[in-house]
Amino acid sequence: MKAKVPVNEGRFAYEGLDRVIHERARLSVLTSLVTNPKGLTFGDLKQLCSLTDGNLSRHLRVLERGKMVEIVKGIDRNRPQTVARITPSGRKRYLDYLETLEQVVRDAAKGGEEEPAALMRGLRPTRA
């Protein structure tokens, strides 16, 4: 027989907050790429996200290892060019992540609407 889990247990755990995405720079990169599905050059991404070359490279490697972006290196007018694109699975993970963030916002907006007495039941004041 399965034990009954209290309704509020883990309510605010937000398992959908993907650690690969949940970092300011990577969130910026993914947002830039999801709004530009054909991809962006390294220089454009660097400017859009206000990142240094090294910082952007490091975050792109994390996203590439996570199969969220693909990096294509080529030549444009005899100059090396790097283009980053969001992958289909990266797009899905990003959208799932946004759904979780929307739930966080909804929960925070509810704030004090729940019954405070029910939430505080069993708690005793501490002495300073």
Q: Is residue 92 part of a domain?
A: yes
Q: Is residue 49 part of a domain?
A: yes
Per-residue pLDDT of the chain in tens (128 residues, 90 and over written 9): 544 545 566 777 787 777 888 889 999 999 999 999 899 999 999 999 999 999 999 999 999 999 999 999 998 889 999 999 999 999 999 999 999 999 999 988 888 565 555 555 555 556 55
CATH number reported for the structural domain that contains residue 74 in this entry: 1.10.10.10
Run of H or E residues at 73? strand 69-76
Q: Is residue 61 part of a domain?
A: yes
Helical residues (DSSP H) of the chain, grouped into ranges: 24-34, 42-49, 53-65, 88-110, 116-120
Residue 119 and residue 8: Cα distance in Å, rounded?
10
Note down the domain range covering 87: 24-105
Q: Indicate the number of domains in the chain.
A: 1
Q: Is residue 99 part of a domain?
A: yes
